[in-house]
Amino acid sequence: MKQQLWTVWTFTRINSRRFFRDRLAIFFGFAFPLIFLLVFGSLNSGSSDVSFKVALINNSNTQFAKSFVTDAKQQKVLEVDKKVTTLSAANEKLSQGTLDAAVVLPSDFGKLKNQKYPSGTAEVHYTQNSEQAGQTLVSILNTQFKSINAKFVKADTPFTVEAVRNNQRSLSAFDYTFAGLLGFAIVGMGIFGPVNVFPELKKMGILRRLHTTPLRVWQYFLSTMLSQLIIGLLSLSLMFIVSMVLFHLKVIGNYAELLVFLIFSIIMILGIGLAMGGWAKNERQVAPLANIVVFPMFFLSGTFFPRFLMPEWLQTISSFLPLTPVIDGIRLLATEGKHLIDILPQIGLIGLWMIVIYAIAFRVFRWE
């Protein structure tokens, strides 16, 4: 038994060295997932603050109007274009789509009403294409004016609104994307690795020569599994580091439990690659099969968008795909602080798929 395990370790080192000597394999194993991470991370981790690019045109000489303009330029909700000083210039930019709206303060804005308090009506100009932004800006300004009015005119408020924040955590868009991208990387490493390597080794006659040695299928599978596991964990670790540094990812769950789950997931997904790569005689035979298996998982397992956006019948079907419990488990562990005991349904489904997949992989494996 000791000799058999030494053989496994030997082939693990050989497979790992082969990977790190192949520039194309390094690109698809490390750089390609990072490219997707940077693209989707940039799209989904932007600031949540709402702002409007506006022109602020003050036609009033009152002190109140001047103070209002000064305060408005300091607010985050308004990005004031200081170069636009006339309504005609603002309308030109509105027609070009470079402004959301133009806020015009008439000449009587801020003048005293009945010598008691300032008053006036601000005008919000917008086009048909920016109607939603214009109406939202009107609502925001009305809210601000209400607070200003309360300083001058006291009024009873029978009905009010109170904001109450609960203690439950919610997932951000990047949290969903990051868990999906981890699943994407696991599939790329676990399936496309063996699918690309095994047919090439058969074509070169390497597997045929190995078949003449005492090497057993389980030893070769185990060595491939260990090497892919090492490479996969390095790739995922790099994704975690980049996400934390660039996109401020916060992992709420336990790192040790997450590591155990990732190892379990990589081994299961790798079985799919071993089955297809071990069965195929050449690249032309395995490429269509790999696409048929992989792409439905990418689009239906919540890789790039939440599954709850799908119809219920499609959610039910997609919940049984091999990649679905992997992505769901990562999200529950990393972003919701769940423990392994809390995701037993996902672990159980992964374990069931592992039994089925590896039974098929050993059954269909061919040395040539």
**Per-position DSSP letters for 155-175, written without gaps between them:** ---S--------S-----HHH
Q: What is the pLDDT of residue 19?
A: 77
Is 163 among the domain residues?
A: no
More confident residue, 131 or 115: 131
Main-chain phi, psi angles of 316, to 5 degrees? -65, -45
Same domain, 254 and 332: yes
Q: Give the chain's radius of gyration (CA, Å).
A: 30
Nearest to 329 by CA among 311, 310, 317, 342: 342
Reported as a single tens digit per residue, the pLDDT across 44-57 is: 655 555 678 888 88
Residue 163, pLDDT above cutoff 60 = no
Is 222 among the domain residues?
A: yes
Same domain, 131 and 222: no
Is 166 among the domain residues?
A: no
Q: Which of 28-32, 137-141, 165-169 shows the lowest per-residue confidence on average (mean pLDDT)?
A: 165-169
What is the average per-residue pLDDT within 37-43? 79
Same domain, 187 and 85: no
Same domain, 70 and 206: no
Same domain, 121 and 28: no
More confident residue, 340 or 141: 340
Residue 297, pLDDT above cutoff 70 = yes
Is 160 among the domain residues?
A: no
Element (H, E) at 55: strand 52-58
**How far, in Å, CA of 12 to CA of 223, rounded?**
4
Domain end call among 152, 184, 215? 152
Same domain, 190 and 74: no
Residue 224, pLDDT above cutoff 70 = yes
Residue 169, pLDDT above cutoff 70 = no
Q: What is the pLDDT of residue 46?
A: 53
Q: What is the pLDDT of residue 237?
A: 92
Q: What is the pLDDT of residue 353?
A: 94
Tell whether the torsion through CA atoms of 151, 152, 155 and 159 is positive or negative. Answer: negative
Domain end call among 103, 121, 152? 152
Nearest to 188 by CA among 283, 266, 285: 266
Is 94 among the domain residues?
A: yes
Q: What is the pLDDT of residue 266?
A: 93
Q: What is the DSSP letter of 117?
A: E
Same domain, 261 and 352: yes
- Of the pLDDT bands very low, low, confident and very high (cuts 50, 70, 90), residue 348 is very high
Main-chain phi, psi angles of 222, to 5 degrees? -65, -40
- What is the pTM assigned to this prediction? 0.70
CATH number at residue 100: 3.40.1710.10
Same domain, 360 and 330: yes
Residue 179, pLDDT above cutoff 80 = yes
What is the average per-residue pLDDT within 81-85? 85
Is 29 among the domain residues?
A: yes
Is 31 among the domain residues?
A: yes
Same domain, 213 and 353: yes
**How far, in Å, CA of 251 to CA of 240, rounded?**
9
DSSP characters for 287-315? HHHHHHHHHHHHHHTTSSS-GGGS-HHHH
What is the average per-residue pLDDT within 241-256? 86
- Of the pLDDT bands very low, low, confident and very high (cuts 50, 70, 90), residue 287 is confident
What is the average per-residue pLDDT within 105-126? 83
Please provide the average confidence, as pLDDT, over all residues in the chain.
82
Structure tokens belonging to residue 364: 């269909």
What is the average per-residue pLDDT within 22-43? 80
Residue 92, pLDDT above cutoff 60 = yes
Q: What is the pLDDT of residue 263?
A: 94
Number of domains composing the chain: 2
Same domain, 27 and 61: no
Q: Which of 61-65, 105-109, 165-169 shows the lowest per-residue confidence on average (mean pLDDT)?
A: 165-169
Instruction: Kindly give, in sequence order, each residue whose CB lies less than 8 Å from that of residue 37, ignoring residues fewer than 6 positions away.
Output: 178, 181, 239, 242, 243
Q: What is the pLDDT of residue 170?
A: 58
Same domain, 357 and 263: yes
Is 162 among the domain residues?
A: no
Domain end call among 123, 152, 181? 152
Same domain, 231 and 334: yes
The boundaries of the domain holding residue 311 are 8-45+172-364
**Cα–Cα distances in Å, from 92 out to 79, 96, 126, 131, 272?**
18, 6, 11, 16, 59
Neighbouring-strand partners of residue 125:
102
Reported as a single tens digit per residue, the pLDDT across 308-347 is: 778 888 888 999 999 999 999 998 898 888 899 999 999 9
Q: Which of 141-155, 236-250, 328-342 shows the lowest per-residue confidence on average (mean pLDDT)?
A: 141-155
